[in-house]
Structure formats: structure tokens, C-alpha cells
Amino acid sequence: MDRELVVVSIGGSILIPGKDDAEFITKLAEMLRRVSSRVNVAVVCGGGKIARYYTETGRELGGSEYDLDMLGIGATRLNAGLLALALGDLSSKDIPTTIDAAADAFSHGKILVMGGTEPGHTTDAVATMLARELGGRRVVNATSVDAVYSDDPRKNPDAVRYDKLTIDELEKLVYSDHGAGKSSVFDPLGVQIAKSEKIDIMMVDGRNLAELEKAIAGEPFDGTFVNSQ
């Protein structure tokens, strides 16, 4: 029986916070290498502050929204390249730029690493698209908060923390005006894909590698489990 495929969406702010980045990426790669002996893993990297820098500077230079999106996507691919370097021969150094190319490049036992694909698609959405294409049933979202909340917990100390949600409940949070904060709620398009394809979503603190490993491995973890069924 083939091992389960899990797609990990890791935010750029998690991967490249600007402090001891090489040390963290090395530890992340070691964890991914370890867990890949149990499940097949594909990783989609976000852009983080590097993407924001380029899009903000590009906007000052008069770039169109398309131009700015492409700059941001370029940053996600740079971040993916760093993780691929840390993984060594377990991952290809050629970063796929489309879902089709990623599917063609995917190899069991290897760790596929990619960034964004095209304007209008966040890396969360790309992760669910990749899961759909490869037949994955779970997406792990390694984010900057430790779970999904009713509001941004960094601004509202009374925000409610959710350990479990249905995909419909997550959808309501995503589309509510006061939702859980942009950095802690999954991309709306990604939620739609997860709902239609019955892909479960795990939200976990991406800097907590022990909990991230548990989520990827399918073990009980400290975070939010979103049931798509």
C-alpha cells in the first residue's frame, strides 16, 4: 500500500523570519527528512517579508498588480530554493513553477518543494491544488499562530481558540469581517478546494517543529484540525 501524501504549506514568515534562518531551515529539513520515511511529503513555501519588500518597492516604482504578484511569487520560489538546498539530494533543486510541473516532478520517497504559481493564487491555495492533483487527503498549514481563533489573538486577548472545526465552520470564519486574522485563516480559494475535494486541513505553529512533525505524520497535535467530511 502506498504511503499517504501530505502537502505542507509553510508561511514565508515562518521559513525566513530574518533571525538564524539557516539554523531553523536546517532543523526543518532534518524533521522533514525524518517524517518522510512515514508519509510522502510535498512543501509549498510562502513569500513572507521578502515578498512584501519586493511588492511594496515595486508599487512605489509604479508596477501593476500583475507585476507585483509576479515579484511576490518570485520571492516564494527563492524561499523554496533555500529549503531545497537544505534537503540536499532528497529534493530537486529545480523549483516547479506550475502544478502540472510539480506533479510531473513528484517522486515517492523524495520531498517536492515549490513556491507560488500564478497571480491570484496564494501559496495556501497552491497547496490545496497540489493535494488535489496528487491525490493527497491532508494539507498542513504551518502558520504564525498556534491554531485558528475567532479573532486575531495577538490583538484580542478574548479570542476563542478552536481545536476542531468543520470545513463549513472554517469557511464562515474565512469570509467573516472579523475572522481569525489574515495570517491565521486559510486562503478562501484553498478552503473551497478542500471542501469540494474532501481534503482535511491542519493548522499548527510552524516554528514548533515537534508539533509540526506530529501534524504531518497524522498524529494528535497541538493546533486546529479541520474536518472536510
Q: What is the rounded average pLDDT of the residues 170-191? A: 67
The CA distance from 44 to 30, in Å, is: 17
What is the pLDDT confidence band of residue 203, given thresholds at 50, 70 and 90? very high
Residue 10 forms beta bridges with which residues?
A: 45, 142
Q: What is the rounded average pLDDT of the residues 22-37? A: 96
Using the predicted structure, report yes or no on whether residue 177 has a pLDDT greater than 70: no
Residues near 84 by beta carbon (within 8 Å), at least 6 away in sequence: 91, 92, 93, 95, 113
Q: What is the mean pLDDT of the chain?
A: 91
The CA distance from 141 to 144, in Å, is: 10
As a three-state string, the secondary structure of the chain is CCCCEEEEEECHHHHCCCCCHHHHHHHHHHHHHHHCCCCEEEEEECCHHHHHHHHHHHHHCCCCHHHHHHHHHHHHHHHHHHHHHHHHHHCCCCCCCCHHHHHHHCCCCCEEEECCCCCCCCHHHHHHHHHHHHCCCEEEEEECCCCEECCCCCCCCCCCEECEEEHHHHHHHHHCCCCCCCCCCCCHHHHHHHHHHCCEEEEEECCCHHHHHHHHHCCCCCCEEEECC
What is the pLDDT confidence band of residue 78, given thresholds at 50, 70 and 90? very high
Q: What is the rounded average pLDDT of the residues 105-119? A: 91
Q: What is the rounded average pLDDT of the residues 134-146? A: 93
Q: What is the rounded average pLDDT of the residues 25-51? A: 95
Q: What is the rounded average pLDDT of the residues 120-143? A: 94
Using the predicted structure, report yes or no on whether residue 68 has a pLDDT greater than 50: yes
Q: Return the pLDDT at 91.
A: 94
Q: Return the pLDDT at 60.
A: 97
Q: Which residue has the cell 533555500?
A: 82
Using the predicted structure, report yes or no on whether residue 189 has a pLDDT greater than 80: yes
Q: What is the rounded average pLDDT of the residues 1-18? A: 88
Q: Which residue has the cell 493527497?
A: 136
Using the predicted structure, report yes or no on whether residue 87 has a pLDDT greater than 90: yes
Using the predicted structure, report yes or no on whether residue 23 has a pLDDT greater than 70: yes
Using the predicted structure, report yes or no on whether residue 64 has a pLDDT greater than 60: yes
